[in-house]
Amino acid sequence: MDRSLHQKIKKSAAVLIIDSMELRRAGVASFLTTWADDSNVQIVQTDPGEVSKRPIDPSVKLILLVVGAQGISESQSQNWIAALHEQYADTPLVFVSEREEPEEVVAAFKAGARGFIPMSVTPPVAMQAFTFIMSGGSYFPPTALIQHTHVASSMTVVKKETGVVADVRGLTARQQEVLERLRQGESNKLIGRQLKLRESTVKVHIRQIMRKLGATNRTQAALCAAQLTISARGKNDESDDDTADGGLVHVHKHVFHA
């Protein structure tokens, strides 16, 4: 089979990156190149003003709308969102933003987004979140949601019809070491090399970690690890606060009150 044809077939799905800033858009695309290759998806770039002019692409499985410092509730953002909903109503929409105010996260949720990625997150967490969202989940920053007074539960990651409560205290010391490396986006082979374990042993640890965290896949376990890290930091920062939740991160369906 012709190699170019094989690559075209292999990458039948696409991620659409939308940004009004051409240089920034190119930077995001470049950053995601390795992830896209690993995920067998191609990257398509465009300007927000061109979305309605382009024919609908059924191969698009994820849309990243890079808004930068622009507010989601601003009229220009709302026009972009409306155009995307009209053409890609069933495609997961993710906002990539320089802002982290709780109001922005809630605005993204109300706009029908499946995710909100602040530019302050680490690259491994961002890529794990994109993978998770493409598989049917959602991702919103836990710190922003917890701060918002209209959040009924401290949701961070949601899988369709799935509720998870993650508690690192249920893991052995070795499992915690494996989980930390999962959080960093490392492969089983690299984890085994670093911890001097066979790759098959690493896989056993990961299956046990997933069972204990209630995760359904490796990506969800890694995202749980990322949020457990944030929770632990918060607990250390608020050690004198009687309302600290003991390092627990609740991972389940999110509920916003109007």
Tell me the CATH number at 55: 3.40.50.2300
pLDDT for res 6: 37
**Number of compact structural domains in the chain:** 2
Lowest mean pLDDT among 58-62, 71-75, 128-132, 181-185: 181-185
Domain boundary residue, one of 59, 85, 120: 120
pLDDT at 144: 61
102-to-10, 93, 95 alpha-carbon distances in Å: 39, 18, 14
Two structure tokens written together for 32: 């995601």
Q: Please provide the average confidence, as pLDDT, over all residues in the chain.
A: 76
- Residue span of the structural domain in which 83 resides: 3-120
Match 């490392």 to its residue by tokens. Answer: 186
Higher pLDDT, 184 or 7: 184
pLDDT tens-digit map of 142-177: 666 555 434 333 344 443 333 444 455 578 889 888
* pLDDT, greater one: 11 or 233: 11
Any idea of the CA torsion for 93, 96, 102, 105, to the nearest 10 degrees? 0
8 pLDDT above the threshold of 50: no
Same domain, 111 and 173: no
**Alpha-carbon span 246 to 93, nearest angstrom:** 33
DSSP, collapsed to helix, strand or coil, labels residue 142 as helix
Contact 224, 251 (CB under 8 A): yes
For 14, 75, 88, 102, the CA distances from 33, given in Å and listed in that order, are 12, 31, 23, 30
The percent of residues in the chain predicted with pLDDT above 70, rounded, is 70
CA angle 227, 229, 233 (to 5 degrees): 115
Amino acid (one-letter) located at 165: V
3-state secondary structure of 238: coil
State the CB neighbour count (10 A cutoff) for residue 5. 9
**Does residue 51 form part of some domain?**
yes
- Among 90, 120, 150, where does a domain finish? 120
Looking at the fold, whether 105 and 26 belong to one and the same domain comes out as yes
Give the mean pLDDT of 71-87. Answer: 93
pTM (2 d.p.): 0.59
